[in-house]
Chain A
Amino acid sequence: MSNLKKITSNQLFIPLMALILLAVINLINDPGFFKVTLGTNNAGYPVLSGYLITILDYGSELGILAIGMTLVTAASGGQDISVGATIAIAGSAMLRVLCGGNSRPETIQAPIIVAFLVACVVGMLCGAFNGALVALFKIQPMIATLILFTAGRSIAAWINNNELPIVPDPKFSYFGGFIPGIPIPTTVFIVAICIAIIALVLKFTNLGLYTQAVGINESSSRLNGINPTLIKFISFVILGLCVAVAALIKVSRLSTINYSVIAKDIEMDAILAVALGGNSLSGGKFNMWSSILGAYVIQFLTTTLYKFNVQSDALAAYKAVVVILLVVFSAPTVRDYMAQLFKKVPFMRKEAA
């Protein structure tokens, strides 16, 4: 019993169970779901394909956003709902630099790395704006980020004069697709790099500890010499950086941008990933790996729903049911009730004894 309890109380338990459940459903529905084949793409290079690869590939933006969102959630006890809109801003800035204000350039006007760095700065500025409102002016995160949520896509359109530039260089599409000769999607490597960086940061700096301290009790962390304003601000800036990386992938997939559609509703998925990872949405302790796993579980769910021929617009309704079930079962009130219920069952009591 104590072993069982140890397993179920682990934070990774919920996302792992969800993952296994989804895997079993898919296995019953279509045994070929897990088949990964090595084929060739249009350009004649070898690529891996299969549903699992699709999930790994398309879940990467969400995985990267989950990193930043977990930190923001833990530090401020609120969520950033502007990530979709800031992806549009960062992506638009990237295209503006790459195409130089010309919507159909012959060649790219600046190196890709410069465009990416500009996008990083823009993303961090958006994060800093949100962070300043939250940390300095003490506005609730959800509402402070509402400002960029409303304005973001408009600003993105304004940066490029509402034109939709197309990047002419095929190299740019490597980031969201495949590098010739390597059969694994590039996005997988990008996520791996991001995870490695955040793992090192959490291991060798006090960021994780300070973030949790601020999230659990702001005034006592201040009395212990931590600057809560700075920690909250930094968490938003880090999310801004994650947004820029996600924007690179998103824009690179199409080599262009659609301001009103790009990364739509991704903020909801990112928040969902954090919640699914068993992290408290009101701040405090967090488990980064659980959030990232949660992001891939959500992508798994999306792919599964598509496989059951659910329309992309109707997807939201099914996700909503999953969210409700999830939060109901993880609610403390329900857990207490269930625990009491289990106590009444005789064989459980015997095992416990």
Chain B
Amino acid sequence: MADKKKVSIFNKMNDTSLLLTITIVIFVLMYLGAILFQGGGFTKPQMFFNILNANAALIITATGMSIVMISGGIDISVGGVVALVSMSCAVYLDMKGGSILGSVLLALAIGVAFGLVQGFLVAYLDIQPFIVSLAGMFFARGMTTIVNTAPFNVADPEFMALKDTRINVPFLGSVNKKGIYVPAYVEIGVIVALIIMVILFIVLRWTKLGRSFYAVGGNKQSALMMGINVKRTKFLSHLICSTLAGIGGYVYFLHVGSGSASHAMGMEMNAIASSIIGGTMLTGGVGNIIGTLFGVLSLSTIQNIVASAGLDEAWWTGITIAAMLCIFLLIQSVVMAQKNKVLKS
């Protein structure tokens, strides 16, 4: 009887929600563990909002990455695009005396341009997405140093005002040592990230385009037979991902306020890792934007735990992220194998 019940639970849950549940449970346990055993900063809500503030750009790029991965591709150029956007915007604002609106348009233009070229090469010329985006990454990183070699801070007053804008979150402030109430706040980037997430969640869940991403990633042949334009869908997934990398680049720029060729080093790997931890399958067809959000949160929570546990030597961060990625990949692999076995029997 027990076995029968297990089967029914497995059957009820589709792949996406099964992996999503695992991720959310692990994140909640981890955060609770951090509060219980480390206390300190983790008990304050602001700690959570700081994680959001620092990772708004990663949330946006990881969302784009999830869409590409759901439709069966991969894009490793996002980190390079983020660096190129922040450097170009910094140069445009500081040296050319450009306006804020102009810099936003510039960021979007860079993202869309990368998306158009990469999407065309992947979808219409049938070149492997890894190779195309590898070249994209090379190109973006190289262009960043061609635009400007030395890192520098932007001093434009209008931009600084935008950068320092804080949006208070009601009811979640805390009282500091002097007894003054300090409201909890988030930066503009977080709002942008949340809006994008809501839009894309709706698109993926309830629109024809969103469902065709899953169909193409799940099985290209059957998607073709269902009458889905596979090439166009793939093209759009890359276009969306690169455009989001452009927006993410601007949010990143808004957070750090400087341009540098070494910005967002390895961000593509963090974005891929977040998507995987969030339950997006690399083989395509399975994934969820909410999961990606929790992936980013888990990743940065563990970084914060490592930092506040006194293991702040640089190497621990790399090792813990890799260990976590490894564990989640193994969970995915084992869970899927188990599920297939249960379904077959």
Q: Using A148-B322, A150-B318, A157-B315 as known contacts, say yes or no to A327 and B142 having CB atoms under 8 A apart.
A: no
**Cα-based distance from A137 to B326 in the complex (angstroms):** 11
B152 within 8 A of A: no
- With both chains docked as a complex, state the minimum distance between the C-beta of B141 and any C-beta of chain A, in angstroms: 5
User: Cβ of A205 < 8 Å from any Cβ of B?
Assistant: no
Q: Among the listed A311, A317, A331, which residue makes an inter-chain contact with B139, where contact means beta carbons less than 8 Å apart?
A: A317
Is B269 in contact with A149, judged by CB distance below 8 angstroms?
A: yes
27 contacts between A and B (CB under 8 A): A137-B334, A138-B333, A139-B282, A140-B283, A143-B282, A143-B329, A148-B322, A151-B318, A151-B323, A154-B317, A155-B315, A162-B315, A271-B131, A281-B128, A311-B149, A313-B261, A315-B142, A320-B135, A320-B136, A320-B137, A320-B142, A321-B135, A324-B135, A328-B121, A328-B127, A332-B126, A333-B126
B residues in contact (CB < 8 Å) with A: 74, 121, 124-128, 130-132, 134-139, 141-143, 145-146, 149, 261, 266, 269, 272-273, 276, 282-283, 313-319, 321-323, 325-326, 329-330, 333-334, 337
Number of A-B residue pairs having CB atoms within 8 Å of each other in the complex: 131
* Nearest Cβ on chain B to A223's Cβ, whole angstroms: 19
Extra 10 A-B pairs, beta carbons < 8 Å, given A320-B135, A328-B127: A143-B276, A146-B325, A147-B322, A154-B314, A154-B319, A155-B318, A157-B315, A281-B128, A316-B137, A323-B134
- Please, how many angstroms separate the alpha-carbon atoms of A315 and B269 in the complex? 22
Residues of B within 8 A of A137 (CB): 329-330, 333-334
Residue of B nearest to A136 (CB): B333
> Given the complex, which residues of B lie within 8 Å of A64, measured CB to CB?
none
Q: Closest approach, in angstroms, between the C-beta of B329 and any C-beta of chain A? A: 5
Is A275's CB within 8 Å of the partner chain B? yes
A140 to B127, CA, bound (A): 18
Q: Tell me how far the C-beta of B265 lies from the nearest C-beta in chain A, rounded to whole angstroms.
A: 10
Q: Given A150-B266, A313-B142, A334-B125: A323 and B315 within 8 A (CB)?
A: no
Residues of B within 8 A of A209 (CB): none
How close is A83's CB to chain B, nearest CB, in angstroms?
14
Q: Interface on chain A toward B: helix, strand, loop, or mixed SS?
A: helix
A314 at the interface (CB under 8 A from B): yes
Q: Which of A146, A319, A328 contacts B273 (CB 8 A)?
A: A146
The 10 closest A-B pairs by CB, nearest first: A317-B142, A151-B322, A154-B318, A154-B315, A320-B139, A320-B138, A316-B142, A313-B145, A316-B138, A323-B135
The residues in A between 126 and 156 inclusive whose CB is less than 8 angstroms from any CB of B are: 133, 137-140, 142-144, 146-155
Closest to B118 in A: A324
Hey, which chain A residues are within 8 Å of B333, CB to CB? 137-139
Q: Mark A277-321, 1 if CB is under 8 A from B, else 0.
A: 000011000000000000000000000000000010111111111
